[in-house]
Amino acid sequence: MLFNSFAYLIFLPIVFLLYWFCLSKTVKIQNLFLLAASYFFYGWWNWRYLSLVILCSTVNYVAGRLLMKTEKHEYRKLIIVLCCLVSLGILGIFKYYNFFITSFAGCLELLNIRIHITILNLILPVGISFYTFHTLTYTLEVYKRKFEPTKDIISFFLFVSIFPLAMAGPIERATNLLPQLYKKRILDYSQIVSGLRLLLWGFFMKVAIADRLTVYVDSVYNNVSHHSGITLVLATVFFSFQIYCDFVGYSYIAVGCGKLLGLNFIENFRRPYMAVSVADFWRRWHISLSTWFRDYVYIPLGGNRCSTGRYYYNLMVTFLVSGLWHGADWSFVIWGGLNGLFQVIGKVLSPIKKYILQNSFLSQAVKIKKEFDILITFGLITFTWIFFRANSLDDSFIVIKNIVRFKGNLFTNNIDSLIYGSVLILVLCFSDAIQECNSGKHYFLEHKNKGIRYASYLLILLIILLIGVFDGSQFIYFQF
């Protein structure tokens, strides 16, 4: 079931009313109801793959209980290894088997060795990477003795599959969400208002901006060889905002739904296009995933508490793995590698940059340093998105080649999407800039003056209804 579907607009109010006004006597009843609703929500897409969610939940729940009962290091290590093998094995079969087997066969062909390979025709389960990381976070924290394993199987299964997070995160930590599931929730008017506000802004970003930009981006990127450099630059910039609005829109809706249920999910985005460096971008973009890779890949490799060369190696490995997590294709690996490489280059050039900016003859440059850094960072990130969006690696290089040539006429089909998209991007940039200066608060939607607040609600709703694209398009990150 999609957030931007008619079915969800019926599903959410029903869940809300039953949850608060019929089943609020005990926490256990509420949790059991939410678990059933979450399984219904996920099963709406494909009920057969519910078995994978339940299997992954069961394996990690049992692993947590076993880790609690043994103190022997050898047994604890065996339990966590087996748990990771099962969880990552399921992910590997469905998401990476075909990629690795075809890549291996391709390498052998370079040596004039041909082998017969078997390709699995499997549908990638929606959200499999997200609920796999959900469960592994819990088990790894229990293994490190940072979190007490739960005895409440209903709460744990709900933690893994709760419907606002089921498809595309944020990747919740057990330390944040599980304790909330144990406690009685109280209907709080201010939290409901906050949740509805997030829902409104999330739908605006998804339906009015992201899906409107999608029309133009897809028309260009689905036939890149026939488009000029000017058009491809514009389509790539549009995609930068499309994927941002698509994913942050989902996150806002997810967090907003959580608030409607009396739950507080972790923040997943913090105005990433206001970042002043690629490293800063990744502290603001998909925060739940970035911190996951930091805690479970980067730090175990040694983090930055090592030699300079080793530090750069750790950074590159982390982002290459992150790229592979996003998709079983070399384009995603290159995308991740570029994000790591730009950070390494930034670290190498940092002393030179500092020296230049301290030069008295360039004192004026210091005053515009932040704005300049934001533009440079946006340009670098937008370049990496080419590999993320292109339909193939070959298409990525065609896009870059045509952009370098930078000639030809602007593609003016879908002119309404071109105009609306451009205007709405400016509105979004203006809004993010104000939020950046206002401690993250939305100036209009959270204004003290009721008239301004309600006028803002009405205006956004009208924009959604008038220019929103209601084709039920799925969120981009569902494929991961």
Name the nearest CA neighbour of 53 among 82, 105, 94. 94
User: Residues 253, 358: one domain?
Assistant: yes
User: Residues 350, 298: one domain?
Assistant: yes
- CA dist., res. 401 & res. 99, Å (int): 26
List, for residues 231-240, the tens digit of each pLDDT value.
999 999 999 9
Residue 2 is assigned to a structural domain of this protein: no
Neighbours of 50 (CB within 10 A): 17
pLDDT value, residue 360: 53
Active site residue 326: yes
Residue 35 is assigned to a structural domain of this protein: yes
3-state helix, strand, coil in the chain (%, to 5): 75, 0, 25
Among candidate residues 150, 179, 208, the one where a domain is terminated: 179
Among candidate residues 146, 179, 212, the one where a domain is terminated: 179
Tokens representing 480 are 């991961």
Number of domains composing the chain? 2
- CA dist., res. 330 & res. 110, Å (int): 17
User: Residues 121, 197: one domain?
Assistant: no
Q: Which of 134, 227, 286, 326 is catalytic?
A: 326
User: Residues 66, 155: one domain?
Assistant: yes
List, for residues 399-454, the tens digit of each pLDDT value.
999 999 887 777 777 787 788 888 989 999 998 888 888 877 887 888 888 898 89
Residue 16 is assigned to a structural domain of this protein: no
Go through 216-242 and write b for each residue having 16 or more CB atoms within 10 A of its CB, e for each that does not. Answer: bbbbbbeebeebbbbbbbbbbbbbbbb
- What DSSP assignment string belongs to 375-436? HHHHHHHHHHHHHHHSSSHHHHHHHHHHHHHT-S----SSHHHHHHHHHHHHHHHHHHHHHH
Q: Is the pLDDT of residue 364 over 60?
A: no
Query: Most confidently modeled of 102-106, 157-161, 408-412?
Result: 157-161
Domain range enclosing 310: 191-479
- CA dist., res. 288 & res. 255, Å (int): 13
**C-beta of residue 275 within 8 angstroms of C-beta of residue 377:** yes
- CA dist., res. 58 & res. 137, Å (int): 14
User: Residues 38, 94: one domain?
Assistant: yes
Among candidate residues 156, 179, 202, the one where a domain is terminated: 179
Residue 371 is assigned to a structural domain of this protein: yes
User: Residues 153, 198: one domain?
Assistant: no
User: Residues 129, 243: one domain?
Assistant: no
User: Residues 260, 324: one domain?
Assistant: yes
Residue 361 is assigned to a structural domain of this protein: yes
User: Residues 236, 263: one domain?
Assistant: yes
User: Residues 232, 279: one domain?
Assistant: yes
Residue 21 is assigned to a structural domain of this protein: no
**C-beta of residue 396 within 8 angstroms of C-beta of residue 390:** yes
Residue 107 is assigned to a structural domain of this protein: yes
Residue 5 is assigned to a structural domain of this protein: no
Q: Is the pLDDT of residue 260 over 60?
A: yes
User: Residues 137, 224: one domain?
Assistant: no
Distance of CA 109 to the CA centre of its chain: 36
User: Residues 135, 249: one domain?
Assistant: no
- HSE-CB at 74 with a 13 A cutoff on CA atoms is 0
Please tell me whether the overall predicted TM-score, pTM, comes out greater than 0.75 for this model. yes
10-26 average pLDDT score? 91
- CA dist., res. 461 & res. 472, Å (int): 18
Distance of CA 138 to the CA centre of its chain: 19
